[in-house]
Structure formats: structure tokens, C-alpha cells
């Protein structure tokens, strides 16, 4: 196939990024990290650096207006951006918000979205300092760009993992994916289960303080937030670090609610945990000699619970280790805007 005939759904989101990232840096002055991590890193300025991140949320791709309270949508818009700052071990400072609004949209609903955004900003000490507004022909679109900061020697990147490092996640996996299936009415569940999973999808919690604790400790080697799914985001760490990984099937943390949802709807709970996405936990790699101190440190963190789920390997690729010791290669997929799985 000729290169100019290749369609975006054949290339995929991350393949597309690979095609455009070359020749983007025309000056390396104060640029520490560009494309390829949760945030760009600029500096240093004395002993600190600035962290820059941006995320776009589009109606019917990232959210369904009739299925989420406008205030909750506003909170989620800020939370997913804050999660990138958390993944680098940073503290949020300022943000700009750009919004494209359908002309027929109710003003009160837009104000409610902004109220949700302002509530999250207040909670995490983030200033809204500007942005842009324009009309949209059909759908609501919101883009947020955030600036954070961190001590230069505490920033955690994707590229630090080494063979022998242990892999940790800061909570159960698949809850948001289960919530999305409930929101879109693909599945059903009792209210006691549905309420918890829908909340996990609509109101993710950015682990800013946990990220700072991990970064400050200097016990970890790499970190990323789980936005696209465990396998997909672990792949980013492996690719950046030039390593592979093994995940232990019996160690994947699955909540009781996901277990119930899966049983009632004939789903594989581990499929949701591995590939579901939008959990916004932190995935952290830790050298084995630091694991005891790391676990003791994180056990004091009341905002999350840590689980060891695997280890970094010299052999490339990501493999699943089953309970009987058998290993199988995992499909390197996850959420991709341009590919239907």
C-alpha cells in the first residue's frame, strides 16, 4: 500500500504519533523531555522544572452528555489532566481551558461543567488562568492544558525501568471499564454494584499526593498513569526503557464489584483489568532492593492500596504468567482512538 493511501484507522493513534514526532524540536534550550512521556519537562530553573500536559475530551468519544452529570464531567476533565502531573511526581500550578460549544447547548449546563472544573481546581490548588472559546457545529469539546512543577531530581519518567524491577499499581483495575459498560447499557448490575463502578468511570481520583510521595522517596525507577489500560501503558514504559515485562495473572487486582459484574454478564474480569483503561491509577516500577521500603511507605497512603503485579525483564514484549507457571504473550493493545478492537 502506498504511504499516502494509508488510513488513520490502519495506522492507529500511537503509530500516528510516531510519524509526526520527528523534527519537532528546533531548540533544545531548557527542554528536558518532549514528546513521549505523560508531561513535557522544561527547565531547570534553579533546582526545579515545569511540567506541561494537555488532554482533549470530545462528546461521544470520551463522554456522553446525557449519561453524566455536567458537574461530574467538569471534575473528570480536570482529573484526567491532573493524573498526568501525578505520574511525573509533580504539583499542579496553572491551567488553561479551551472549549468548543454547540450553539444550541443550554448555558446552565456549560456553567455546571465549569463549576465542576472549578471545584477540582480548588481541591488541588490549581489556577484557571485563561483559554479560548468557540462554536462547535455538533459536539461539545473541551481541551485542558496544565502546568505543574517538581524538583528536577525527583521527576519520574517512563524510561527508567530496569530488568528485575517489580511492577506495582495503586488500586484495582477494570472498574472504569465496567462503569462504561453500565453507562452505555451494554451490561446490567444491581444498584449497589452499578453505583460504585459508574462512579469509578465518571469521577476518577488523580493521585497527586501519592505521585509526590513516590517521587520524593526516590525509591522508584519509572512511573506512568493508567489511562489506556495496564498492558498498553506498561508497554509505554517498556518501549521507553528498552525492556520487557511479565505480569502475574493471580496478582491482577480485581474489585469485588467487577467480579460480580463479570459473573452476571459473562465477562472476563481480567480482560477488563488488562485492557479496559481510564482507571487513572499509577503504575510504578521499583528496583527489588527498594521494594520493602517502598511498600512500607505506600502502606501509609490512605488514598490508595498498592499491588505488586509483575516484574520487568530483559526479554522484550509483555507476557502473562498463569497460576501453573505457563507463560503466554499478551496482545499489545489498549484504548486507541483510531482502532476498533
Q: pLDDT at residue 61 above 90?
A: no
Tell which residue, 151, 210, 153, 187, has the closest CA to residue 268: 187
Model pLDDT, residue 1: 46
CB 319 within 8 A of CB 245: yes
* % pLDDT > 90, the chain: 80
Q: pLDDT at residue 197 above 90?
A: yes
Pick the CATH number of 3-154 from 3.40.50.2000, 3.40.50.300, 1.20.58.2240, 3.30.1330.10: 3.30.1330.10
Predicted confidence band at 274 (pLDDT cuts at 50, 70, 90)? very high
Picking from 53-67, 104-118, 253-267, which range would have the lowest pLDDT averaged per residue?
A: 53-67
For residues 233-256, give the mean pLDDT. Answer: 96
Is the C-alpha dihedral spanning 182, 225, 170, 245 positive or negative?
positive
For residues 236-256, give the mean pLDDT. Answer: 96
| Distant-in-sequence, close-in-space partners of 62: CB < 8 Å, separation ≥ 6 | none
Domain borders along the chain are: 3-154, 166-329
Predicted structure pTM score: 0.91
Model pLDDT, residue 192: 96
Q: What is the architecture, at CATH level 2, of domain 166-329?
A: Alpha-Beta Complex (3.90)
Amino acid at each position: 500500500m502506498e504511504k499516502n493511501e494509508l488510513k488513520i484507522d490502519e495506522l492507529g493513534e500511537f503509530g500516528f504519533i510516531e510519524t509526526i514526532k520527528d523534527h519537532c524540536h528546533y531548540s533544545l534550550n531548557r527542554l528536558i523531555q518532549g514528546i513521549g512521556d505523560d508531561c513535557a519537562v522544561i527547565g531547570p530553573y534553579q533546582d526545579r522544572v515545569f511540567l506541561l500536559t494537555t488532554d482533549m475530551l470530545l462528546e461521544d468519544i470520551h463522554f456522553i452528555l446525557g449519561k453524566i452529570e455536567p458537574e461530574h464531567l467538569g471534575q473528570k476533565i480536570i482529573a484526567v489532566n491532573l493524573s498526568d502531573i501525578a505520574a511525573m511526581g509533580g504539583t499542579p500550578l496553572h491551567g488553561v481551558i479551551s472549549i468548543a460549544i454547540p450553539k444550541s447547548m443550554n448555558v446552565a449546563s456549560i456553567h455546571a461543567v465549569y463549576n465542576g472544573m472549578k471545584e477540582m481546581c480548588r481541591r488541588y490548588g490549581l489556577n484557571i488562568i485563561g483559554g479560548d472559546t468557540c462554536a462547535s457545529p455538533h459536539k461539545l469539546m473541551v481541551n485542558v492544558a496544565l502546568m505543574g512543577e517538581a524538583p528536577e531530581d525527583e521527576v519520574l519518567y517512563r524510561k527508567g525501568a530496569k530488568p528485575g524491577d517489580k511492577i506495582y499499581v495503586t488500586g484495582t483495575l477494570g472498574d472504569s471499564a465496567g462503569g462504561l459498560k453500565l453507562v452505555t447499557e451494554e451490561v446490567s448490575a444491581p444498584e449497589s454494584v452499578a453505583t460504585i463502578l459508574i462512579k469509578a468511570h465518571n469521577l476518577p481520583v488523580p493521585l497527586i499526593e501519592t505521585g509526590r510521595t513516590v517521587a520524593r522517596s526516590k525509591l522508584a525507577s519509572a512511573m506512568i498513569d493508567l489511562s489506556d489500560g495496564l498492558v498498553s501503558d506498561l508497554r509505554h514504559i517498556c518501549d521507553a526503557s528498552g525492556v520487557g515485562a511479565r505480569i502475574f495473572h493471580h496478582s491482577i487486582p480485581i474489585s469485588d464489584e467487577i467480579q460480580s459484574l463479570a459473573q452476571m454478564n459473562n465477562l472476563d474480569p481480567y480482560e477488563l483489568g488488562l485492557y479496559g483503561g481510564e482507571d487513572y491509577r499509577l503504575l510504578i516500577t521499583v528496583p527489588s532492593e527498594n521494594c520493602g521500603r517502598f511498600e512500607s511507605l505506600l502502606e501509609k497512603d490512605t488514598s490508595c492500596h498498592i499491588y505488586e503485579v509483575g516484574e520487568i525483564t530483559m526479554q522484550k514484549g509483555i507476557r502473562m504468567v498463569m497460576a501453573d507457571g505457563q507463560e503466554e504473550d499478551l496482545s499489545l493493545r489498549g484504548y486507541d482512538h483510531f482502532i476498533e478492537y
